[in-house]
Copies of this chain bind each other. A is one copy, B any other.
Amino acid sequence: MVEDRYSKGLKNLEKIHPEASKALMENLKDIAPDLGRYVVEFPYGRDGLDLKSREIATVAALTALGDTKPELKDHIKGALNVGCKRQEIIEIIIQMAVYAGFPRAINGINAAKEVFEELDKK
């Protein structure tokens, strides 16, 4: 059953953000390989909420926390990959101005602009 969770998590991460998850595993490989297993299995191997809603929740939380820009950028890409429109992502981030203050929202918008520009270059 744990294996099922893991393989389901991997499949979901493949949909959300294949590059970022490969880079994360590579990064953790030598130093804490089991941390990778938990990141795969715990948040992405679950039922009960669709992937788009999970990414909305994650983009909101990372904007509100404010100090985790690399992860925020990965999840902005992830949200786009599972069906969020750019304007929806901007709205999620603007909504955070209300709950976590304007500076974090403005920094989140800048993160989103960086992601959109990177994608437009490809």
How many A residues have CB within 8 A of the partner chain?
A: 55
A98 touches B101 (CB 8 A): yes
Grouping DSSP codes into helix (H, G, I), strand (E, B) and loop, the A interface class, with mixed when no group exceeds half, is helix
On whether the beta carbons of B38 and A42 are closer than 8 Å, the reply is: yes
Of the residues B94, B102, B107, contact of A99 by C-beta under 8 Å? B102
Report Cα–Cα, A58/B88, bound state, in Å: 14
Alpha-carbon gap, A102 to B75, bound state (A): 13
A57 nearest CB neighbor, chain B only: B60
Q: Which residue of chain B has the shortest Cβ distance to A72 in the bound complex?
A: B103
Task: List 5 other contacts, CB 8 Å, given A31-B113, A49-B91.
Answer: A38-B97, A49-B92, A61-B100, A62-B99, A100-B101
